[in-house]
């Protein structure tokens, strides 16, 4: 078996390897068996997904594999990737699973695994999962996927966290904000948060039907929102991708802010509010010296 896990979990076309039924089922049982060996008890796992049409099918196979091997599984339904990271960290889950292909088109999907700390498992853990997948028994020839009702309280908990903690002290009264939700996982969450903080919200691409995620919208097509901004009177535009693990910001004149500009603005705001822990900003290799110079000044 070649390497299954890339930089952002397992990715592929839904229904084809590595997102075929036997491989998905093997991933589920391998995750459970490895966690059980580590914990000395059956693990408790939360699963969430973006709204693309293959998500329910993949979720069903994962849940079947986990239940067959003794895990306690809870479905959060359609929720963002940061939402699952938050829930895994705060709701006593041993692992979290996100079913999403992020900004990719609708035929694709993926599986991301999170530890109880709300962070992606490291490469060493993922290698162990792959090794276990090669040793686990063959899955049943017929897999009957169970139906778990999603626990809506989990999504409400995450929305409350965004409003009460992340948005603490933030008053957006008088702000007119355009949100492009990519017909993805943020379609319900984002408007509720920004409206609760006082903003007047205009929504685009917030009607997911399972087939329209990222299609001509969202962060991967930022030019669409930028074009709208230039001809309207919004103060700010925000475009998410399919699972809302990325956001791109657009000014009232249609100017798109790059990642360094966004980091710089967020860092200054957090520092002014006394929320920048250690007076430290962590960037990626994509950031340049200009960001460091600006922050030092």
Catalytic residues: 102
Asked if residue 241 lies in contact with residue 220, where contact means CB atoms within 8 angstroms, the answer is: yes
Asked if residue 236 lies in contact with residue 208, where contact means CB atoms within 8 angstroms, the answer is: no
Indicate the burial class of 219 (C-beta count within 10 angstroms; 0-12, 13-18, 19 or more): buried
Pair of tokens at residue 217: 């919208």
Contacts of 16 (CB under 8 A, 6+ apart): none
CA 85 vs CA 190, 198, 284, 290: distances in Å: 16, 26, 20, 31
Phi/psi region, residue 255 (left: phi>0; alpha: psi -120 to 50; beta: rest), is: beta
CA 129 vs CA 23, 34, 124, 160, 188: distances in Å: 12, 7, 9, 34, 33
For the chain, first and last CA: distance in Å?
50
Asked if residue 42 lies in contact with residue 36, where contact means CB atoms within 8 angstroms, the answer is: yes
Strands 95-99 and 44-49: parallel
Q: For the chain, where are the alpha helices, taking DSSP H only?
A: 21-39, 55-68, 81-90, 123-135, 152-161, 186-196, 222-230, 259-272, 289-296
Hey, is 290 helix, strand or coil?
helix
Indicate the burial class of 57 (C-beta count within 10 angstroms; 0-12, 13-18, 19 or more): middle
């Amino acid at each position: 078996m070649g390497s299954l896990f890339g930089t952002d979990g397992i990715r592929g076309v839904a229904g084809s390897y590595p997102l075929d039924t036997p491989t998905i089922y093997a991933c589920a049982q391998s995750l459970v068996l490895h966690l059980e060996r580590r914990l000395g008890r059956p693990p408790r796992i939360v699963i969430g997904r973006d709204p693309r049409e293959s998500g329910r099918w993949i979720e069903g196979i994962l849940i079947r594999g986990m239940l067959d091997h003794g895990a306690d599984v809870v479905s959060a339904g359609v929720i963002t990737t940061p939402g699952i990271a938050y829930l895994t960290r705060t709701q006593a889950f041993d692992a979290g699973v996100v079913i999403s292909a992020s900004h990719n088109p609708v035929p694709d999907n993926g599986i991301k695994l999170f530890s109880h700390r709300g962070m992606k498992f490291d490469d060493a853990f993922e290698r162990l999962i792959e090794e276990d997948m090669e040793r686990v028994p063959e899955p049943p020839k017929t897999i009957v996927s169970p139906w778990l009702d999603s626990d809506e309280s989990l999504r409400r908990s995450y929305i409350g966290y965004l409003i009460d903690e992340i948005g603490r002290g933030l008053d957006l009264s008088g702000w007119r904000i355009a949100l492009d939700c990519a017909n993805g996982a943020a379609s319900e969450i984002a408007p509720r948060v920004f409206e609760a903080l006082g903003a007047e919200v205009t929504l685009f691409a917030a009607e997911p039907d399972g087939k329209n995620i990222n299609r001509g919208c969202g962060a991967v097509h930022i030019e669409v929102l930028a074009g709208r901004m230039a001809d309207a009177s919004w103060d700010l535009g925000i475009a998410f991708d399919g699972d809302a693990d990325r956001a791109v910001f657009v000014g009232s004149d249609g100017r798109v802010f790059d990642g360094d500009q966004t980091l710089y603005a967020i860092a200054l705001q957090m520092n002014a509010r006394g929320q920048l822990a250690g007076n430290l900003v962590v960037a990626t290799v994509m950031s340049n010296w200009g960001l460091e110079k600006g922050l030092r000044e």
